[in-house]
Amino acid sequence: MNRTTVASPPVSGPVPDTGGRRLPRILHPVAWWIWALALATAVSRTNNPLLLVLVLAVLGYVVTARRTEAPWARGFVYYLYLALTVVTIRVVFRAVFATGITPHDHFLFSLPHIPTPDWYAGIRIGGPVSLEAVLSAATDGLRLACMLCCIGAANTLANPKRALRVLPGALHELGVAVTVAISVAPQLVQSVQRVARARRLRAGRAKGLKALRGIVVPVLEDALERSLRLAAAMDSRGYGRAGTATRRSRRLTGALMLLGMCGLCAGAYGLLDATAPRFLGLPAMAAGAVLCVAGLRLGGRRVSRTTYRPDPWRLPEWAVAGSGVLSAVLLFAGLGYDPAQLNPTFYPLSWPTLPLVPTAAILLAGTAGFIAPPPGPPHHTSSAPTAPRTEKAHAT
């Protein structure tokens, strides 16, 4: 039998009207990572609890407004639980390893004091705990918690598999390992949600620690099966194979990348430390950048990849990435406000102030929630749909 395909001519009709709205599409994953890392850099500049709470509010708004229906897009709440755990651990450690209180501190409670030997001098276990010490520990933990939530927002908003496609060829194998690593947490969240839903459908009534065994065992089994499937799929696609690259070229590429990263680290240290020698500043960073670029170019020659439907980088990507970078620049510049307002102290106890410029900078990063296009699938409102293709079979 000869099978011929006959396509009907296109039907003319009105152009779909979007009502002035932007067409939904997925934002470039690198734009979300730049935005999140820049916001985490801005968070590292301050321990003002008011600004840190504002950062958490901005992250929650952007994630709620622009997350997709992907499995990893539902895991931001677990990063919030992790952030709360970090703050709690920081406060507990500060209370256990107390440093004592002064007559001007506000006494809260006292823990049993454990005497320490002479070689353990300088560390006090137990004793009185003040309100100032607890608040200082809570703000330090809150800063680390905000950084974790920034990374969680990037994992929630960006597709890690699509981000792998834009890496240079020399970093492809490293990117695969990083992609697999950052995909573990979202996949575990998906497995836990699926197992919990199955338990509810089976009328499982066990809660708390009793239900832990019924959840952990299926989740671990699912993780093992997924790892085996991933290993088989990667092996079938040739991941980890050197191909035509010689041992000399691989060693040269690794040496250039290692020396380049050392140069970048030394340059960053020289720029941040005013007492460091001058050659550890911009010269070291420039030399490290040159070595890294040379390593990327040399390693990229032995890796050939094809990209199907590459992600576009348009004005929304520039706007989202720029809002995060500009927020970090404003907090590091220290213009228009007193830098001491970014790091208030609780000795003596006082209410922190909310500086105007850093607040505006963090709110500027929150504009990514409506600058980015909506991630939902496009809805066509045309009243004259395109005629389907028809197939006719002719016998010979």
Model pLDDT for residues 254-309, shown as the tens digit of each residue: 788 788 888 888 887 777 666 777 777 778 888 888 888 887 777 666 666 666 67
Paired tokens of 92: 């507990």
Q: Is 262 exposed, middle or buried (0-12, 13-18, 19+ CB in 10 A)?
A: middle
pLDDT of residue 167: 67
Q: With 80 as the cut, is the pLDDT of residue 145 above it?
A: yes
Predicted TM-score (pTM) of the model is 0.69
Q: What is the pLDDT of residues 248-258, one digit of tens each?
A: 777 787 788 78
Q: What is the pLDDT of residues 82-92, one digit of tens each?
A: 999 999 999 98
Q: Which of 54-63, 286-295, 384-393 is the least confident region?
A: 384-393
Give strand pairing partners of 109.
129
Nearest CA to 132 out of 328, 283, 386, 348 is that of: 348
Phi, psi (deg, nearest 5) at residue 227: -65, -40
Give strand pairing partners of 6.
390
pLDDT of residue 13: 42
DSSP state of 354: -
Q: With 50 as the cut, is the pLDDT of residue 55 above it?
A: yes
pLDDT (average), residues 304-322: 80
Give strand pairing partners of 5.
391
DSSP three-state, residue 303: coil
The residues spanned by each domain of the chain are 23-239+246-304+313-381
- Cα distance between residue 326 and residue 365, in whole Å: 8
Paired tokens of 295: 């390593």
- The answer for residues whose C-beta is within 8 angstroms of residue 139's C-beta and 6 or more apart is 47, 48, 49, 52, 346
Paired tokens of 350: 């006082």
363-to-56, 343, 366 alpha-carbon distances in Å:
11, 19, 5
